[in-house]
Structure 1
Amino acid sequence: MSVNLQGLEDNARKTSITELQAAMADGTSLSMALKQAHWNMKGATFIAVHELMDEVKDRLDEQLDNMAERIQQLDGVAVGTVEEVARTTQLKPYPTDLTKVSDHVREIADRLRSYGVRVRHAIDATDGAGDTSTADVLTEASRQADKDLWFVQSHLD
């Protein structure tokens, strides 16, 4: 087995790139869903949830940047085109006919939960492959996703 500059065996590096890319695809899909919700909601709690969607998106986008940078550190190529994300995301398509704040909150909470599952799977896979640094990047993303899910769910009845 060959070892790269990070001291990781090729299998660990390849596993990490694959897992990071999968998490990025789901995260990018989620990021766009957050913007779709932000643009199209109406209701009594509009402004609070409207602003929350942007805050969650900003935090998510920062985590996605960290993942993309880690892929680069591992000598991979971070792919985030709309076409590639649409092809590879495991998140279900976001409905485009919603207007009620509560409907958007439920849909976003569902996707945040699914994204959290994807990231936790990636943590286990990268840690198991021996790349604790990538597992750390993903653990930070998981903690943030859990906190944001809590924030979003707090707007449900």
Structure 2
Amino acid sequence: MKFEKTKEVLNQLVADLSQMSMVIHQTHWYMRGPGFLTLHPMMDDFMDDVNDQLDEISERLITLDGSPYSTLREMADQTKIPDEIGRWDRTMEERLATLVEGYRYLADLYQKGIDVTGEEGDDPTQDIFIEFKTATEKRIWMIQAHLGKAPEIDA
């Protein structure tokens, strides 16, 4: 079969982007305190970006004759991004740090995809992975800057 490793990474991304969307939703819903008026609408942008990536990743997987996960059970069983029950006692800094962790994981997974597509000679999918890794690193930078920290990107 052609592009098997690439399809595995794509489907892992289907599960992980779905989970990341939920983590961002939770941040959006359980937000209180200073910065609310700025951060709350920003989470809408973050969700839109992750959902756009999810759609493109899923469609690319289908283009390669793959079958994306399509149930909540599959996503929950396959994701490597942790979740937790929503609570009101977490600070915005803690919530944003959780987002950074998820984005760092996604950036690493995109890098794995870049490596795998290079091995398998799938340039179009590699382009997608490069574009989304770049966008994900930008999110890390933005959140880290808000937290008063350096991006700490390992390119």
CA RMSD after TM alignment: 1.4
Instruction: Give 2:131's aligned residue.
Output: 140
Instruction: Give 1:5's aligned residue.
Output: none
Unaligned ranges ≥5, structure 2 = 149-155
Task: Choose which of 20, 26, 29 in structure 2 pairs with 1:36.
Answer: 26
Indicate yes or no: 2:52 matched with 1:62: yes
Question: Is the contact between residue 60 and residue 145 of structure 1 (CA under 8 Å) also seen in structure 2?
Answer: no
- Tell me the TM-score normalized by structure 1: 0.87
Instruction: Give 1:103's aligned residue.
Output: 94
Structural mapping, 1:1-157, within 5 Å: 10-12=1-3, 14-98=4-88, 99-157=90-148
Highest relative contact order (Cα 8 Å, sep 6+), 1 or 2?
1
Q: One-letter code of the match for 1:11?
A: K
* CA shift in 2, pair 1:109/1:94, >3 Å: farther
Aligned-pair distance for 1:81? 2.0
Work out the number of aligned pairs and report it.
147
Moved over 6 A (4+): none
Q: Secondary structure at the match of 1:154?
A: helix
Q: Secondary structure at the match of 1:44?
A: coil
Q: Secondary structure at the match of 2:94?
A: helix
Aligned-pair distance for 1:94? 3.7
Aligned-pair distance for 1:42? 0.6
Aligned-pair distance for 1:100? 2.2
Aligned-pair distance for 1:95? 4.9
